[in-house]
Amino acid sequence: MKIALMMENSQAAKNAIVLEQLQTVVADQSDVFNVGMADEADHHLTYIHLGIMASLLLNSKAVDFVVTGCGTGQGAMMSLNIHPGVVCGYCLDPSDAFLFNQINNGNALSLAFAKGFGWGAELNVRYIFEKAFLTGDRGQGYPLERAEPQQRNASILNDVKSAVVKDNFLDAMRAIDQELVKTAVSGERFQQCLFDNSQDPEITAYVRELLG
């Protein structure tokens, strides 16, 4: 599995802590790409940029999963979920991660990196990642006797989103303020992740064209 970690300006100072926990948990089974702000001196990103970045990486299949967040985690979650092909859950504790994994089976998690991020926060983050990535097959349902309707509803929700978001992915991306998109894709680590791993030549070409 390829996992992208992306953090925005308000919580960039905590990137090293979160990255260390994620890498520790998934070291044996996943590649981690730190594509957002690595510290407060890095190129400026907001949670709006995170949604654009996640959408490009997931729809191009450059990564399989995105870990993100902001102060409360709410803004990042909403920003990601407006994009096609992105199903982002909200996670405050390890049980949230496990239940999202088993019931919703999405491809992104948004964490709160300020609210409740106090003493022992790195332990909570580590346990969240353990439940998100080390609990076996995803989408198995919880409790197990509810697996069939949960799997059916998750599929229906994806179908509804696809029906509502009718525009071609790149047409929709081009309809966004292009300066906003350009800022979102301006980071060198993001570009390396996308260009090295993208399975969609059209998305790759669009980003290269945007960057000039």
Distance CA 88, CA 108 (A): 4
Q: Which CATH class is domain 2-211?
A: alpha beta
Q: What is the DSSP letter of 102?
A: I
Q: What is the pLDDT of residue 136?
A: 84
Tokens of 39: 């510290």
In the block, tokens 């390396």 appear at 192
Is residue 12 a contact partner of residue 38, using CB atoms and an 8 Å limit?
A: yes
In b/e form, how buried is each residue of 167-191, taking b as 16+ CB within 10 angstroms?
eebeeebeeeeeeebebbbebebbe
Break the chain into its structural domains and give their ranges: 2-211
- Model's pTM, two decimal places? 0.95
pLDDT of 142-192, one tens digit each? Answer: 998 998 999 999 999 888 888 888 678 999 999 999 999 999 999 999 999
Q: What is the DSSP letter of 28?
A: T
pLDDT of 101-130, one tens digit each? Answer: 999 999 999 999 999 999 999 999 999 999
